[in-house]
Amino acid sequence: MSLTSTTRLSARPTADAEPIALYVHWPFCVSKCPYCDFNSHVRAEIDMDGWRDALLADLAHEATLTGGRPLASIFFGGGTPSLMPPAIVAALIEAASRHWRPVPDMEITLEANPSSVEAARFADLAAAGVNRVSLGLQALDDGALHFLGRAHDVREGLAALDIAQSVFARVNFDLIYARPGQSEADWEAELAQGLSFGTGHLSLYQLTIEPGTRFATLVAQGKFTPADPDRGATLYELTQAMTGAAGIPAYEISNHARPGEQSRHNLTYWRYGDYAGVGPGAHGRRGGVATLRHKKPENWIGAVVRNGHGLQSEDALPNEDRAREALLMGLRLAEGVDLSRIANLSDMPVDALVDAASVEQLATLGLLHRQDRHLTISPAGMLLLDAILPKVVAV
């Protein structure tokens, strides 16, 4: 595959610019999970050399606009990036380190399925530069794993976790709760087992029925009934109590970490920092411009061959949109938001960002706290976050 490169004029960031994050999307999976609405695809054959060259070209193009800035993190997401040959991972890390200025303790995360085949690659991935892995365990019950369409069983998943924790400095694993028929006692036992492994970061998500997924079809057909909101709220409160007692509290509504083990990459998103996104369907944000790559793998790689990059669109974000997005993401965090910072990055006055009357009313109810220009949602408010945000955010 021959690739062409393009050069675009842009203002070079100053040496003291805030660090940027890099997201690399690998779109391929062995099979499609019935709950998944991510940009993932099953392909019988993959031209690995072609994909390596295309990702490197897409990355190089993005670096023409943001290169020279400090690079705080790289995140390989998907799809199933643990299916990537470690040599491709190493090539992308090396290229990113040339185009940007890696911070001394740069976080490099790779998402992985806990199959024995993928776990066998962990040592090679660590040698390639990955220092944090995120495992899609999803459940610690074989029946639940079958329901969720996962290819591994509990035994295989825990074996992969053992290998990951022996190879990587930092590990996260995902669990999905509020599954149909899951009782409070069931989840309490499963979460207690998950907490017993001593893992530094857990991502704990309630099962959500996303439009266009196989689960959405099954629900529409009456094949199963999702957990009702009250059950979800009960399990959420149990989750917060157990993780807090174990010293791994929530720092974001669904993410829990021991002190110092928060995902720095995801914090860049939630704190509304800049990040470059490369690969099929990848989103990015740089200097008030939202970027989007072509979603379908064949369309993306065709665009890279033609243009030297996989961009589908680059849209300047209006001030109101920047302020709204920063608020909606930042209020998911336990640390909350600094309204002065959001006002500065969006060129909006502080008083225009939030509805003062709603903030006062919700504060009286104990659902949020405002101290000067700092706003946080309380633990009780997190249960009602979807209802609170439209009332609070004024832009």
Q: In what order do the strands lie in the sheet with 311-316?
A: 250-252, 255-257, 201-206, 170-177, 132-138, 101-112, 70-78, 20-26, 275-278, 283-286, 289-293, 311-316
- Domains of the chain: which residue ranges? 20-270, 319-392
Which two structure tokens, joined as six digits, stand for 233?
Answer: 């709220």
Whether the model clears a pTM of 0.85, i.e. scores above it, the answer is yes
Q: Are the folds of 20-270 and 319-392 the same?
A: no
* DSSP reduced 3-state for 120: coil
Residue 347 buriedness (CB in 10 A; 0-12 / 13-18 / 19+): exposed
CB 58 within 8 A of CB 26: no
Q: How long is the chain? A: 395
Residue 15, pLDDT score: 37
CA 233, CA 247: separation in Å to the nearest integer? 21
* DSSP reduced 3-state for 376: strand
CA 150, CA 32: separation in Å to the nearest integer? 9
Q: Assign a CATH topology to domain 20-270.
A: TIM Barrel (3.20.20)
The list of the chain residues with pLDDT below 70 reads: 1-16, 30, 32-38, 41
φ, ψ for residue 351 (rounded to 5)? -65, -20
Q: β-strand 20-26 against 275-278: which pairing, if any?
A: parallel
Q: Assign a CATH topology to domain 319-392.
A: Arc Repressor Mutant, subunit A (1.10.10)
Residue 29, pLDDT score: 77
